[in-house]
Amino acid sequence: MKEKLYIIKIGGALIDDPELLDQFLEQFSEIKEKKILVHGGGKLATTLADKLGVEQKMINGRRITDKETLDIVAMVYAGGINKNIVAKLQQKKCKAIGFSGADANLIKAKKREHPEIDFGFVGDIEKESVNRKLISKLIKLKLVPVFSAITHDKKGNLFNTNADTIASVMAQALSSKYDVELLYCFDKEGVLENVEDPGSVIKKVSEEEFSVLKEAGKLHKGILPKLENALGAVKNNVNKVFLIKETQLKNHIESHHGGTEICL
Amino acid sequence: MKEKLYIIKIGGALIDDPELLDQFLEQFSEIKEKKILVHGGGKLATTLADKLGVEQKMINGRRITDKETLDIVAMVYAGGINKNIVAKLQQKKCKAIGFSGADANLIKAKKREHPEIDFGFVGDIEKESVNRKLISKLIKLKLVPVFSAITHDKKGNLFNTNADTIASVMAQALSSKYDVELLYCFDKEGVLENVEDPGSVIKKVSEEEFSVLKEAGKLHKGILPKLENALGAVKNNVNKVFLIKETQLKNHIESHHGGTEICL
């Protein structure tokens, strides 16, 4: 039987709220099984870019990561946020070790290719991008990897990569070795039938149901990429995938209570 | 016989010069023996602080690291600079892995204590601060640790710590297990009899000679802490300690040519 491994993704809203983040990290540190944390960025990078007068470039409504923006996100994500999370986890006796994808070539990305748009320093990844051998070795040393969403191309360039995608792809890569449970933690109770009603959690969403919900316009924009990444994980042998509320992590681990399960 | 381990420190001027840095990293990546890189900060943090309107606070001529300054140096050192160095080394097929002292509790510092001055988020370290067991395990995985000069106190706080000191203390901590050679790389040919004359390199400096040179006012300010840290290493069983010019790393490794050796 494969050993259990939790891969847990947290995002912007949580990172921007120190008290909530601390509460979450407390729950995270209490998980007894093997675990990996993947974190997004929050508003800090945008705030810093604004202060420095670095404009956000958009082409056809898509965000471009130019060199100046990359320099900022690399600093903020892999430096400021990542090291602060690691220090807080260390305080809670969790053996956290912070990484970008460049470190030990843990996640090697390719610059995004697009027929019309040059996205700049945006890196796309696939299952083979993940250095699962080394990640397994680090986990075996009882370390708890904490990943920022910065990757590299092994040609000396850093990239900005979607954190939801990193969590999904890492879960896929590690599923051959571990019994992976992938948890997307966010500020909602799960996928909601009615976004205004926290009680309207849909307990299970399959690929088919996802299409129906999407067609019906019932999914707000923010949740779409999360669900697509979650489905990608399920389709690629990740054993369990859930969307849960950040404050419910402990409840979920202990009783699988609440949240939305994503399934085939 | 103990295995050879190079601990190599680089500083600001090199980090601020991309071309020179690349040349150095090329030489560093060619070292066949086990190795660790420790890097300082450069001007980037100061530039950023200026742009953000964060003033450098001084008390009695000593620099204070307040929370705003710490947030900046953590971002710049552990994020921007560290990850860029790691990405460049990965490009050169060196299995670099970037760390702050918070990661895996690799360097645990104590807030600097002083009877009159509160230095803020400045961390002091000693031999016992270094997690040498885990660093040895990482080195055994053929990884090349790259340390930024950010540490933590295991109480959730990050600290700014002198990079020269980190290199010295790490060399001391690892000398029980490895045959350590500590190299301080900087922009001079070594310790100079006459700072205007690159040909006036003093080949060896002992503790006694250091006192004589210091008394005679022959050492410029910048080199004093470097020499004190270098002597601290020699006195604590580090096998070899040199100050060399950054561009001479390869020459030094191959033939021990040039530079100043620090000895008892």
Helices (H), chain B: 12-15, 18-29, 44-51, 67-73, 82-91, 132-140, 163-174, 207-215, 223-235, 249-255
CA A51 to the chain's CA centroid? 26
At B96, which amino acid appears?
A
* Residue B182 to residue B171: CA distance in whole angstroms: 7
pLDDT, averaged across chain A: 95
Rounded to the nearest angstrom, the minimum Cα separation between B245 and chain A is 24
Asked if the C-beta of B79 comes within 8 angstroms of chain A's C-beta atoms, the answer is yes
pLDDT value at position A210?
A: 94
In sequence order, which ranges of A54-206 are alpha helices (DSSP H)? Answer: 67-73, 82-91, 132-140, 163-174
Q: Is B100 on the interface with A (CB under 8 A)?
A: yes
Give the pLDDT band of residue A235 (cuts 50, 70, 90). Answer: very high
Q: How far is CA B27 from CA B20, B53, B110, in A?
A: 11, 38, 34
Average pLDDT over residues B142-149: 98
d(CA B123, CA B119): 9
Cβ-contact B84, A158 below 8 angstroms: yes
Nearest CA in chain A to B53: A51
Per-residue model confidence (pLDDT) at position B94: 98
Task: Name the β-bridge partners of B240.
Answer: B181
A100 touches B86 (CB < 8 A): yes
Mean pLDDT along residues A89-107: 98
Q: Averaged over A134-144, what is the pLDDT?
A: 97
| Amino acid identity for residue A126 in this structure | E
A169 Cα to chain B: minimum distance (Å): 21
**Rounded mean pLDDT, A58-77:** 91
pLDDT at A60 over 80: no
- A-facing residues of B in 16-55 (CB < 8 A) are 48, 51-52
Question: What is the per-residue pLDDT for A106?
Answer: 98
* Cβ neighbour number for residue B18 with a 10 Å cutoff: 11
**Does residue B140 register a pLDDT over 80?**
yes
pLDDT at residue B177 tops 80: yes
pLDDT of residue B101: 98
pLDDT score at A196: 87
Cα distance between residue A47 and residue B245, in whole Å: 40
Whole-number Å distance between alpha carbons of B264 and B247: 26
| pLDDT for A258 beyond 90 | no
pLDDT tens digits along B66-104: 999 999 999 999 999 999 999 999 999 999 999 999 999
Chain A: nearest CA to B126, how far in angstroms? Answer: 19
Does residue A222 register a pLDDT over 80? no
Least confident among A90-94, A105-109, A215-219, B114-118: A215-219
Give yes or no for A143 touching B (CB within 8 A). yes
Interface touch A88/B158, C-beta < 8 Å = no
Reported confidence tier of residue A228, pLDDT bands at 50, 70, 90: very high
B150 contacts on A by Cβ (under 8 Å): 83
- Domains of chain A and any CATH numbers: 3-263 (3.40.1160.10)
Quote the DSSP letter at residue A143: -
% of chain A residues with pLDDT over 70: 100
Chain B partners of A97 at a C-beta cutoff of 8 Å? Answer: 99, 103-104
Name which of A71-85, A192-206, B48-62, B112-126 the model is least confident about.
B48-62
B160 annotated binding-site participant:
yes
On the question of pLDDT at A61 being above 80, the answer is no
**Which two structure tokens, joined as six digits, stand for B9?**
């420190």
* Percent of chain B predicted with pLDDT > 70: 100
Mean pLDDT for all residues in chain B: 95
Instruction: State the Cα–Cα distance between residues A197 and B30, nearest whole angstrom.
Output: 60
The alpha-carbon gap from B97 to the nearest alpha carbon of chain A, in Å, equals: 4
pLDDT band at A195 (very low <50, low <70, confident <90, very high): confident
- In whole angstroms, how far apart are CA B69 and each of A13, B72, B226? 24, 5, 23
Using alpha carbons, select from A96, A144, A98, A101 the residue that is nearest to residue A126: A101
Q: What percent of chain A has pLDDT over 90?
A: 85
**Mean pLDDT to the nearest integer, A134-151:** 98
Question: ipTM, 2 decimals?
Answer: 0.96
